[in-house]
Each structure stands twice: as structure tokens, then as C-alpha cells.
């Protein structure tokens, strides 16, 4: 008789309760999972009012959020979900350390390149998984996240092929209403996401705050977006990640169909005066392209413009 496989009952910590952390942590908590949120600016509001996720097809309220001001108050967990911006990476070693038991997994849902490597350097590569969030989310108020499209989550191991734990974790997300799949090559998926993030997170800023619909409606910016996508694909292919050039046009068309008048989170960060994830999203891909001797004039120019904008606000 075949033994039924029982999924683990994870104790979960969410480090970074912005749009991404609140959404995925909130989905898990709503279905009764043991989720503990590290909160700072939204702590009082979420303690009083709970956490809300709203969209055309979804209206979730988590009234009793397990909220904490310090990870030392959370204690050891089975899974740590990292959803802070990469600009906060220097804080992660001290934040995550109190959460770790012998077999604790660390899942980073951050954008860009280098985050898994950073975490592996501090906590060991064997703990690290990566997740790619293909979803349109905005934090519209303290404790409120708005979802713009159905979205999907892809999980992979930092080292090697997927393990049993990767599939267990994927099933846990799926049981809580998240469309989730396991990928064999996490690095390739990171580059596939950068094909969208590099142009749209960057051009919406340098174009003066245009949303995705307005950007695509302008022939100049649409052409720039496509050129940046082509450069990103060329870098990825130079490292053996095999992304077809047609993928750029597919993403461009899908953006207009799914997201409509969407403002990427990086644009919202810029408008709110927060620092840009400059190195993870643009700097590191550019440096890898230069190392592979790939010509990337548009990426170089975009990185330069964003660097100047980011620096001017800090002076």
C-alpha cells in the first residue's frame, strides 16, 4: 500500500512586508498557515486593522496578523521569505540570523541578480532557494496590497536541480491559491524576468513617470523597451541561458494585454523618494554583459541615467 506524502507544516517568517511580502505572506496566512511578519512602518496599522489584498477577482482580509518589530521576537522558523528590496541587503545578516534553525530554508523573492549569492555567502548555499514573482502588485496604503493581474510564482534551487523540499514548498503555495511552478534552472528564469524588469522598471522612470500603457503607446519608448529587451537576451544567451529573441515581443504584447496602466514598483519607489535597486536590476546585468563582451549601449545609457537620478536625490 502506497504511503500518502504529507506536506510539512511550515513555521514561516516574512522579512520585508511591502507589496510582495504582504501578498504572498498574506495568501499563506489567510489559509491558516503559521506566518510571522517582520514589520516596521506599518506595524501599528496592521496590528489594528490586519492585512488586505484586493483585486477584481480577490478580496482577502487577514484580521489577526502575527506582527513583530524584531526577528529576535519571532525565533526559529522552517522557512524565511526574503522580500526586502535589494538595497536593504546589508541589513539581512543580522535580521535573518535569529530565524535560523539547523534546516531552515531561505527563499528570496527579490528582483535582479546577486541576491542568492549574497545570502549564500552569509548563510550557506544549501539553504538558499529563489522565487520569481511574475505579478503586478502595488502597496496602495499601509497594510493594503492591490493586485493587477493573476500572476504566477516560480521556485528553484540556488544550487543544482529541484529537491523534494522545492516541490513541497510549491505545493504549499498552490494549496493557498498561488499559481506556482518549480523550475530546473533558476538562473535562466532570473534572466527571463530581467528581460521585462530592465526596460519597464527603468524607462517608466526616465520617461517622467509613465505607466506601462503610456510607455507602450509612445513609439520612441516602445522601441527603446524592445532594444533593451534584445540586449538583455543577448547577455543571457552569452551565459548559456538560451532565451529566444522572440521572447521580447511576446513580453511586450503580454504587458499591454495584462497590466494596462500599471506603475512598476521601482517607479513607485522613485516617486516616494526611496533608493532604486540600481545594482541588482541594472548594474550587475550590465557588468556581466561587459565581461562577456556583449554590446549594450542602451543598457549602459539607462544605467547612467538612473544612477544620476538616484544620486541627485541623495545629495
Catalytic residues: 193
d(CA 187, CA 196): 15
Spatial distance between the Cα atoms of 263 and 212, rounded to a whole number of angstroms: 6
Number of residues assigned to the chain: 315
Residues in contact with 27: Cβ distance below 8 Å, sequence separation at least 6, in sequence order:
53, 60, 173, 176, 177, 178
Where does residue 256 rank: exposed (0-12), middle (13-18), buried (19+ CB within 10 A)? middle
The dihedral over CA atoms of 137, 142, 143, 145, expressed in degrees to the nearest 10, equals -20
Q: Are 46 and 67 in contact (CB under 8 A)?
A: yes
Residue 198: CB atoms within 10 A of its CB come to 27
Give the whole-angstrom CA distance, residue 22 versus residue 45.
13
- Residue 63 cell numbers, joined: 484580521
In DSSP terms, 156 is beta-bridged to 130
Q: What residue has cell string 525565533?
A: 75
Q: Which of 277, 288, 136 is nearest to 212 (CA)?
A: 136
Amino acid at each position: 500500500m502506497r504511503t500518502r506524502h504529507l506536506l510539512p507544516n511550515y513555521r514561516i517568517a516574512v522579512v520585508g512586508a511591502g507589496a510582495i511580502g504582504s501578498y504572498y505572506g498574506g495568501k499563506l496566512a489567510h489559509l491558516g498557515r503559521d506566518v510571522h511578519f517582520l514589520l516596521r512602518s506599518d506595524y501599528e496599522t496592521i496590528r489594528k486593522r490586519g492585512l488586505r489584498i484586493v483585486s477584481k477577482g480577490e478580496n482577502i482580509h487577514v484580521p489577526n496578523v502575527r506582527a513583530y518589530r524584531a526577528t529576535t521576537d519571532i525565533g526559529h522558523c522552517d522557512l524565511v521569505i526574503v522580500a526586502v528590496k535589494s538595497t536593504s541587503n546589508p541589513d539581512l545578516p543580522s535580521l535573518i540570523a535569529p530565524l535560523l534553525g539547523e534546516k531552515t530554508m531561505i527563499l528570496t523573492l527579490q528582483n535582479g541578480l546577486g541576491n542568492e549569492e549574497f545570502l549564500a555567502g552569509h548563510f550557506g548555499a544549501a539553504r538558499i532557494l529563489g522565487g520569481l514573482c511574475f505579478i503586478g502588485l502595488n502597496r496602495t496604503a499601509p497594510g493594503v496590497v492591490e493586485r493587477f493581474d493573476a500572476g504566477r510564482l516560480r521556485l528553484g534551487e540556488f544550487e543544482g536541480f529541484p529537491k523534494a523540499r522545492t516541490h513541497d514548498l510549491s505545493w504549499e503555495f498552490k494549496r493557498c491559491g498561488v499559481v506556482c511552478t518549480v523550475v530546473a534552472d533558476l538562473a535562466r528564469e532570473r534572466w527571463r524576468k530581467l528581460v521585462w524588469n530592465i526596460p519597464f522598471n527603468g524607462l517608466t522612470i526616465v520617461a517622467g513617470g509613465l505607466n506601462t500603457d503610456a510607455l507602450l503607446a509612445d513609439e520612441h519608448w516602445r522601441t527603446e523597451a524592445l532594444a533593451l529587451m534584445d540586449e538583455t537576451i543577448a547577455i543571457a544567451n552569452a551565459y548559456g541561458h538560451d532565451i529566444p529573441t522572440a521572447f521580447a515581443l511576446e513580453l511586450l504584447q503580454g504587458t499591454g494585454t495584462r497590466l494596462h496602466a500599471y506603475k512598476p514598483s521601482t517607479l513607485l519607489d522613485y516617486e516616494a523618494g526611496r533608493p532604486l535597486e540600481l545594482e541588482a536590476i541594472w548594474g550587475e546585468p550590465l557588468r556581466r554583459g561587459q565581461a562577456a563582451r556583449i554590446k549594450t549601449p542602451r543598457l549602459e545609457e539607462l544605467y547612467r541615467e538612473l544612477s544620476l537620478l538616484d544620486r541627485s536625490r541623495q545629495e
